[in-house]
Amino acid sequence: MKIKNIYAVYFSPTGNTKKIACFMAEKMAEQLNCPHKEISFTLPEERNQTYTFGPDDFVVIASPTYAGKLPNKILPDFKEKLKGDGSPAAALVTFGNRSFDNSLAELCAVLEASGFQTVAGGAFACRHAFTDKLAPGRPDEADLKELAILAERTADKLRNTDGIFSPVNVDGDADAPYYVPKGMDGQPAKFLKAVPKTHEELCIRCGACARLCPMGSIDPEEPGNVTGICIKCQSCIRGCPQQAKYFDDPAFLSHVAMLEENFAEPKKNHKYL
């Protein structure tokens, strides 16, 4: 089949999922000799519109893994705002060195239900949003080489078919429940209501945290005021130029410590065609 356009669509609060999506789209564009564009799906205003793709568009759609699945507060937007018309797609997820569990299966199911044809999939280990001690520096050069191979093989698959694809078979169960975070004591760590705090003596009221929040939940005039849902994405933490944002919730910190103790060994990527 002939592809005319390639798109990278990503929800990426801390940047690594964007890196994965855009890299694959760029490599696919090189292989298929067509233009590529990127569409951020991260900020609230970026998720207000519906994006519709045609049968000669190839779409790389990427999301981080949250508790073993897609981010639950963003899931409705994935379902309602991304529409395909038989559009071939690659489903990509990133995970912070624990496991992607069922996120890739869920993303594939969502895309198939929205008119896409999933022709490739991948789960790539990236630095954990919570801590630099898990998958530090990833995606690295070796990860991108793997992704380049996936892009090359996906391009071959597109060139050698007539446009009708069976859904890609990936690991996981789209209907499985979310992973339950554990603390250092092995018991469930309950931190759903935890919100980032602000070192007032460091904050310069630049508004970066408010602009970066994918839920629009930080008051730009009073950055210490969290007015809505926090999905623990760490965008405000990692994006603050003064390092003024932090979490002090005991259950959250216990969960991070558990992850650091038990999931430091580098995990492999998973690729599907």
Same domain, 139 and 29: yes
Q: What is the number of domains present in the chain?
A: 2
252-259 mean pLDDT: 98
Same domain, 20 and 82: yes
Pairing of strands 57-64, 116-125: unpaired
Whether 84 is in a domain gets the answer yes
Q: What is the pLDDT of residue 162?
A: 87
CATH of the domain at 219: 3.30.70.20
12-38 mean pLDDT: 98
- pLDDT higher than 90, residue 152: yes
- pLDDT higher than 90, residue 163: no
How sure is the predictor about 201, in pLDDT bands with cuts at 50, 70 and 90?
very high
Could you tell me which of 121, 116, 119 has the C-alpha nearest to residue 55? 116
59 near 92, Cβ under 8 Å?
A: no
Task: Name, in order, each residue with C-beta under 8 angstroms of 264's C-beta and a sequence gap of 6 or more.
Answer: 97, 133, 134
What is the C-alpha separation between 201 and 242, in angstroms, rounded? 10
What is the C-alpha separation between 260 and 75, in angstroms, rounded? 27
Same domain, 26 and 92: yes
Same domain, 41 and 100: yes
32-46 mean pLDDT: 97
Mean pLDDT over the full length of the chain: 97
Tokens of 27: 């490599």
Digit-coded pLDDT (tens) for 228-249 = 999 999 999 999 999 999 999 9
CATH of the domain at 11: 3.40.50.360
Digit-coded pLDDT (tens) for 75-125 = 999 999 999 999 999 999 999 999 999 999 999 999 999 999 999 999 999
Could you tell me which of 63, 3, 11 has the C-alpha nearest to residue 36? 3
Domain boundaries, position 223:
197-248
- pLDDT higher than 90, residue 39: yes
What is the C-alpha separation between 157 and 174, in angstroms, rounded? 25
What is the C-alpha separation between 212 and 245, in angstroms, rounded? 13
- pLDDT higher than 90, residue 268: yes
Digit-coded pLDDT (tens) for 104-115 = 999 999 999 999
44-58 mean pLDDT: 97
CA dihedral 114→87→99→196, nearest 10 degrees, is: -60
What is the C-alpha separation between 155 and 209, in angstroms, rounded? 39
